[in-house]
Amino acid sequence: MADNPTPHLAEDTANTPAKPKRKGVKRRAFLVGGALLVGGGAFGLYLAENSTRSRAKALTETDGAHNFLTWMKIAEDDTVTVYSPHIDFGQGTHTALGQMLADELDADWAKVVVEQAPADSAFANTALVKGFMAELSGMPGVVNALPAAVIGMLTRSQNLQITGGSSAVRFTGQAGMRVVGAAVRLALIEEAAARMKVPASELVAANSTISHPATNRSLRYGELAQGAAKRSLTSSPKLKDPKDFKLIGAGLPRADIPSKVDGSAIYGIDFALPDMRVATIAAAPVRGGKLVSVDEAPAMAIKGVEQVVKLDDAVIVVAKGYWQAAKGLAALSPEFSDGGHAGMSTAAIYAAQDELRTSAKPSNTAGSGDVDAAFKAAGNKLITANYRVPFLHHAMMEPFAITGHFKDGKLHLWGGLQDPLGARDRAAKAAGLKMDDVVFHPMIMGGGFGRRFPGVTEILDQIALLAKQLPFPVKLIWSREEEVRHGTYRPQSSAALSAVLGADGKIAAWRSDYVQGDNAEAEAGFIYDVPATSRRHFEYTSNQIDGPWRSVNSTQIGFYNESFMDELAAAAGEDPYRFRRKHLPAGSRYVAVLDEVAARAAWDSALPDGHRRGIAIVESFGTIVAEVVEVMMLPDGRPKVLKAFAVVDCGTVVNPLNAEAQIAGGLIMGLSAAMGEAITLEKGAVVESNFTDYPLITLADAPAEVDVHFINSGAKMGGIGEPGVPPASPALANAIAAASGKRIRTLPIMAQITA
């Protein structure tokens, strides 16, 4: 779908709808990098890299400001402007990246500004690609040895400028911003040494000033910037020892908060241009269906409606304003086909997944040891359980809204997406234009959580086609109902887990057979020390589009594994916390995190009648998070979450205030999804349409106390935006089981309690 200019699904069969390509850095990207190195030649790569830097300089450098390595410039008044390739849509990325560069640069934080990088190939995110390649290829040494020009050419060829995978701080910050800051600091010192005619070793950098203590002389960064910008910058400067950090680790206020509080922040849905029209859309209720017919007259009779546009699988109404467009759309009675998917339902999907697990060969396998032999061994106790999780919607507060204007052969787009450069690429393909003829203006977003990746964002195709047809600017808005019913959901998934306990009460073997679209091993591995494990993935696709949801596959795999660990603990007659502990490597980071959360939650202390605790630990995106949830059961059988505790080991914490907010927010999002969220299908169409039937957790239902604690282990830096989510649902389900005796194996929880 990502490469198809027709909105919604491309042509499909009755059973296997076309699916968009999820843009990411896979093993094949590593091979592409090698091909570029061989085919491009060192000289060609050098020229390409120089051309890229010249382009970045032309896009960002202004009078009195000097560009360094694409990502920053220094003005004569000492202002340091950092260009972030990541969109900041509430996760605090811009502030954290600015802290990392400024700390290595020894800049005055009061003079640091972070801006969104242009959606241009010159700002394709090389640090992110390098990080993902090292992680996914299994050959970090080889990847790190590749010349920067190779990584750069690969990144630009893939049009990668994504925000996702908890990658901003751990990849872009570590391998990008810190390196640039340290390299530019050295160049400034060299420039100052030349001007003062003293050895560089005698100079000190601090607060945007290079000083020579012996002679009490100093030069400001702004005075040195022009000369320093002409110097060669080292690609491997020595980075600071953590004990010397001044900004990294500091709880600095986020720069994006004031404008969001006072209302001056402009989102895609707020954006306006002179003479702009507003449009809204209704697509085929059954994904894969087509527009059969529509009578335009009822819409055209509405005052303010100017045009009805028919797409292959949707109808759009264009009007003077949104409410006129919405009223015009409501007046229509379009007829859509079902694309052969009328038999698709939530129950049918689960039944098909159960059948697939027992009748097909797995698509991917992982694990080690002889599981079958352990299962057959005399004396071993077999425990089995089946789990199910539904499609989940991203439930962004801001529905899709993108403005387009086609003028003088150029398509301009304004909106908030998680890959501005990829958005240009997809829009160009949809409109039949060259990528150079598309300009994307990135804007802040009212939520994303994986929903706003261009590869799964059909509104890009729609606005590109619409804007190209119209002589004036047009903003296309998806209503809340349209956004809920045509999401790119976290996959509906199921799993059959089985394990045997040995005579010592420890797990002797473990098997997990899970069914969904994607293989989950890349995000959620297996942390426990078990002699024999088998994890088998069976690939299943429905007529829906599976897309990344906050923490991707770690949520469903975390729910399966951590719920099952509690069931195994019960079968062994052991405490859930201690049962986990004895299956984790002694002295490991996992044990430290688990012990700390148990201590902070006072795991062994007595609770009031009806109150119980549940525990879970999940590693995702390089970060270990353990959570404890305390609940009480209300008289009507519903659980009330009272307290929640999270302990996190993500290596170094860049901004503790922001990191705490991210973990707490992820925990609440995980609880919300577990309690009541579900996208269900009937006759091939999504049933839910708004927050009335897709309930999000409210303040009244959220825990009154959320305690977040970080362990600074000094380990390799992990992500922070997503890892707070996965442990929440199993910790909650485990607490409910302890309080009520009812084991929750299917989400959402409320559907099981009220059934």
Structure-token pair, residue 7 = 């909105």
Q: Is the pLDDT of residue 267 over 50?
A: yes
Confidence of residue 755 (pLDDT cuts 50, 70, 90): low
- Residue 489 CA to residue 561 CA, distance in Å, equals 21
Closest to 549 (Cα-Cα) out of 627, 608, 492, 479: 492
Confidence of residue 63 (pLDDT cuts 50, 70, 90): confident
- Between strands 639-649 and 705-710, the pairing is parallel
C-beta atoms surrounding 396 within 10 Å: 19
Least confident range from 24-28, 159-163, 198-202, 433-437: namely: 24-28
State the burial class of residue 138 (Cβ atoms within 10 Å of its Cβ: 0-12, 13-18, 19+).
exposed
C-beta atoms surrounding 359 within 10 Å: 8
Residue with tokens 């198809």: 4
* Residue 194, helix vs strand vs coil: helix
C-beta atoms surrounding 585 within 10 Å: 11
Structure-token pair, residue 673 = 């999804």
SS (H, E, C) 70-81: CCEEEECCCCEE
- Helical H segments across 271-411, by residue range: 297-300, 322-331, 346-359, 371-376
Residue with tokens 């190209």: 468
State in Å, rounded, how far the first CA of the chain is from the last one: 38
* Top-ranked range on mean pLDDT: pick from 29-33, 495-499, 541-545: 495-499
- Between strands 72-75 and 65-68, the pairing is antiparallel
Q: At what angle do helices 554-572 and 728-740 cross, to 10 degrees?
A: 30
Q: Calculate mean pLDDT across residues 482-503.
A: 97
- Residue 248 CA to residue 184 CA, distance in Å, equals 18
Confidence of residue 26 (pLDDT cuts 50, 70, 90): very low
Closest to 84 (Cα-Cα) out of 52, 55, 127: 127
Residue-range domains of the chain with CATH: 27-250 (3.30.365.10), 277-339+400-477 (3.30.365.10), 346-391+489-753 (3.30.365.10)
- Between strands 277-283 and 291-293, the pairing is unpaired
DSSP H or E segment with residue 538:
strand 532-539
State the burial class of residue 368 (Cβ atoms within 10 Å of its Cβ: 0-12, 13-18, 19+).
exposed
Structure-token pair, residue 5 = 């200019």
- Residue 726 CA to residue 557 CA, distance in Å, equals 8
Q: Calculate mean pLDDT across residues 671-679.
A: 98
Least confident range from 2-16, 330-344, 630-644: namely: 2-16
Taking only the tens place, the pLDDT of each residue in 603-645 is 999 999 999 999 999 999 999 999 999 999 999 889 999 999 9
Question: In which region does residue 623 sit, left (phi positive, over 0), alpha (psi from -120 to 50) or beta (all else)?
Answer: beta
Structure-token pair, residue 704 = 């009154």
Give 150's contacts (C-beta < 8 A, 6+ positions apart).
33, 36, 37, 45
Taking only the tens place, the pLDDT of each residue in 698-750 is 999 999 999 999 999 999 999 999 999 999 999 999 999 999 999 999 999 99
Q: Are 240 and 83 within 8 A, CB to CB? A: no
C-beta atoms surrounding 131 within 10 Å: 24
- Residue 451 CA to residue 152 CA, distance in Å, equals 27
- Helical H segments across 126-196, by residue range: 126-137, 140-145, 148-158, 178-196
Closest to 103 (Cα-Cα) out of 161, 173, 39: 173
pLDDT at 44: 52
Taking only the tens place, the pLDDT of each residue in 342-396 is 999 999 999 999 999 999 999 999 999 999 999 999 888 999 999 999 999 999 9
Q: Are 159 and 421 within 8 A, CB to CB? A: yes
Q: Are 324 and 303 within 8 A, CB to CB? A: yes
Q: Does the pTM exceed 0.95?
A: no
Q: Are 539 and 517 within 8 A, CB to CB? A: yes
- Taking CA atoms, 681 is separated from 282, 386, 550, 617, 750, in Å, by 18, 21, 22, 32, 18
